[in-house]
Amino acid sequence: MKKQNIQSTKYWTIQQFLGITVFDSKSLNCGKIKSLYIDSQTFSMSGIIVKKRWSKEYFLSRDYFDHLDESGLYLNTIPIKPHDKVVGTDGKNIGKIIKINLNSDTNKLESLEIRSGFKTRIISSDKIVGIGEKITIKS
């Protein structure tokens, strides 16, 4: 993919966004923008789909966006991604995220589907107490 020159303008085309690298609040690479989601009522961008190499793609609401510059799109937090490890408050491994469930109207996190071995369980978003290298939940 050809690197595009990003300029500080008010209006962008979809092609200018596609392929831009996304960085979390600690400047770690989260992947590249694969597609944009446009609100059909307001015609504004409601979020993006991010994909990193062999990982699953995932949605990020525009509430996560901090700023955009020539090196990429920076987020104001660390996003929850598929395959992130989940641990309890005691540090015990609980499993990995296999699915992120969002509210279809607000794009807010509702729950996480977690797999440990052959067991799958759903954890409500209000049980999340920490997000970083691992997702910490109340046991």
- What is the SS3 assignment for the chain? CCCCCCCCCCCCCHHHHCCCEEECCCCCEEEEEEEEEECCCCCCEEEEEEECCCCCCEEEEHHHEEEEECCEEEECCCCCCCCCEEEECCCCEEEEEEEEEECCCCCCEEEEEEEECCEEEEEEHHHEEEECCEEEECC
* 18 & 68 share domain: yes
d(CA 120, CA 126): 18
Residue 31 and residue 84 in contact, taking contact as beta carbons nearer than 8 Å? no
**pLDDT cut 70: percent of the chain above it:** 94
- pLDDT in the model for residue 54: 81
**100 and 64 within one domain:** no
Looking at residue 97, its pLDDT comes to 93
Give me the number of domains the chain comprises. Answer: 2
Contact assessment for residue 137 and residue 129, using Cβ atoms and an 8 Å cutoff: yes
Residues 56 and 97 placed together within one structural domain of the fold = no
Tell me if 103 is assigned to some domain.
yes
* Residue 123 near residue 111 (C-beta atoms within 8 A): yes
Nearest one of 110, 112, 36, 28 to 71, comparing CA atoms: 28
Structural domain ending residue among the three candidates 50, 75, 100: 75
Per-residue model confidence as pLDDT tens digits over 82-136:
889 999 999 899 999 999 998 888 778 899 999 998 999 999 999 999 988 899 9
Q: Is residue 91 a part of any domain in this protein?
A: yes
Q: Is residue 52 part of a domain?
A: yes
Do 123 and 112 meet the contact criterion of CB atoms below 8 Å apart?
A: yes
Structural domain of residue 133, as residue ranges? 85-137
Position 76 confidence tier, pLDDT thresholds 50, 70, 90: very high
CA 102 from chain centre, in angstroms, equals 11
Q: Is 2 part of a structural domain of the chain? A: no
Domain shared by 106 and 126, yes or no: yes
